[in-house]
Chain A
Amino acid sequence: SQQGEEDPQALSIQEGENATMNCSYKTSINNLQWYRQNSGRGLVHLILIRSNEREKHSGRLRVTLDTSKKSSSLLITASRAADTASYFCATDHNQAGTALIFGKGTTLSVSS
């Protein structure tokens, strides 16, 4: 079963707007990661946030983590058509953290 669940399932915005995707998970985690998948390609790692961090930035990406609510959000600012992709959160598959379990993803469409 999925540990992480993304919300919304699909999001359509215009170029220049911000996109926010949310992830909820069920059990305690060591870290949470976000990945992007372009159509027909494999997943690409975007950012990792540790359980003792609350916010992290990387370029136009901002990730927050609220361990009390078991949730995370990914914000993409000033979106571009090239940001069109599916976005997945991933959390620990087991306590040792040796593997990940992925949510079903949010499909983002950015139109110009």
Chain B
Amino acid sequence: DAGVIQSPRHEVTEMGQEVTLRCKPISGHDYLFWYRQTMMRGLELLIYFNNNVPIDDSGMPEDRFSAKMPNASFSTLKIQPSEPRDSAVYFCASRRAGSNSNQPQHFGDGTRLSIL
């Protein structure tokens, strides 16, 4: 089975540019999560979806960040305009439905984003 697929794997862009990160979750998974990982702050939950509906976006740092899930097999995380402090590794994860966090999350290999 294919795992969670993220693209691009690496992105280098200049400050002020729009950045779009993409994620294809595992087929049949009902939940999709976006995380950001930095040395200073560790792995932070940004937003997650259940059946394509955003459930909790309280981790999204600013209005410059937005996420969509137009269908069950695709999600995007957009940063506009980007800033150097957005540099991090962004992960997408998905999991099956289940009660009380009893389902493991499956992670993609991340997008390493560098904003110059």
Residues of A within 8 A of B (CB): 2, 30-31, 33, 40-45, 48, 50, 88, 91-94, 96-105
Bound Cα distance A105, B44 (Å)? 12
Contact with A along B59-95 (1 / 0, CB 8 A): 0000000000000000000000000000000010100
Q: Which residues of A sit under 8 angstroms from B20, Cβ to Cβ?
A: none
Q: Is chain B's interface secondary structure helix, strand, loop, or mixed overall? A: strand
For the complex of A and B, list the 6 residue pairs with the smallest distance between their C-beta atoms, beginning with the closest: A42-B107, A97-B101, A45-B104, A30-B100, A97-B100, A104-B42
**CB <8 Å contact, A33 and B109:** no
In the complex, the answer to whether A97 meets B102 with C-beta atoms within 8 Å is yes
B55 in the interface (beta carbon within 8 A): yes
For B99, the chain A residues whose CB sits under 8 A away are: 97
Q: Would you call A41 and B105 a contact (CB within 8 A)?
A: no
A40 partner, pick from B4, B45, B100, B109, beta carbons under 8 A = B109
Shortest CB–CB separation between residue A1 and chain B, in angstroms? 10
Tell me which residues across on chain A come within 8 A of B4, comparing CB atoms: 42
Check B102 against A45 for contact (C-beta < 8 Å). no
B42 touches A45 (CB 8 A): no
Contact among A43, A44, A48, A94 for B102, CB-based, below 8 A: A48
- Interchain CA distance A33-B98 in the complex, whole Å: 14
Most chain B beta-carbon contacts within 10 A, residue among A88, A94, A100: A100
User: CB within 8 A of A99: which of B43, B45, B106?
Assistant: B45
Q: Once the chains are docked, how many angstroms separate the CA of A6 from the CA of B109?
A: 22
Q: What residues of chain B lie closer than 8 Å to A94, measured between beta carbons?
A: 56
Instruction: Tell me whether A98 and B42 are in contact (CB under 8 A).
Output: no
